[in-house]
Chain A
Amino acid sequence: MGRKVRKTLNIDAEKLKRAREYLGVDTETEVIDQLLDDCEFERELLQLLREAPPSFKTFRSPLTRRPPPRVRRRRR
């Protein structure tokens, strides 16, 4: 976790209020913190998805009923 710093931001107050209500958090700092966490997770997840072993191109779970669209065989 990085160092906490105080920032002065120009933000739409109504939008921030709606976001606080939507996220169900108590403070505006928590709103921004949660959205930053989301952004960080998604950035890391996209990076992880780019690192998937090539063998996943032919991967299929035996528990799924249908193959993933990209490995579905063409009808003859």
Chain B
Amino acid sequence: MRVLPDTNVWIGWFGRAPEDFALEGGRGRPFLATITLQELWAGVRSVAERAYCDRIYRQARSAGRLINPPVASWIIAGQTLGVLARRELGAARLRALRNDVLLAATAWAYDAAVMTHNRADFAKIAEVLPVQVVGLA
């Protein structure tokens, strides 16, 4: 199964490398989303971290494992945020969910699942956008 780990999953892996890419009930084929790269780059604090993010990016790109949201994902993400707004999610919460919704819409476009520790927020998104959400094994 293709999986798009969210930023906190990648950060967790940077802190402690996993043994493998096992999922609950299967095996994941991890892809790196450019949305995640943006969030990682926003947090780098040193030359070493910057160099490491660049290595992750180059490795994913060279292996064809880098995924950029296509036009359809931006449109679906906007529509999803619109539905969530009509469900009276506040503006601040909606803004905070923007990247998660775009990640979910990108996973949907590539027939992939979102891998996350934060299943509650993605479950709320999945009520609107039919994306599969998986946790770590």
Contact = CB atoms under 8 A, between A and B. Distances in A.
Interface of A: 37-38, 40-42, 44-46, 48-53, 55-57, 59-70
B11 A56 contact: yes
Contacts of A45: 30, 59-60
Interface residues of B, number: 35
B29 A38 contact: yes
Given A37-B63, A61-B39, A61-B42, A48 B55 contact: yes
Contacts of B63: 37, 40-41, 44
Nearest to B31: A41
Interface of B: 7-8, 11-18, 20-21, 29-30, 38-40, 42-43, 45-46, 48-49, 52, 55-56, 59-60, 63, 65, 96, 99, 117-118, 121
Contacts of A52: 13-15, 17, 52
Given A41-B63, A46-B20, A69-B8, A53 B52 contact: yes
B49 A42 contact: no
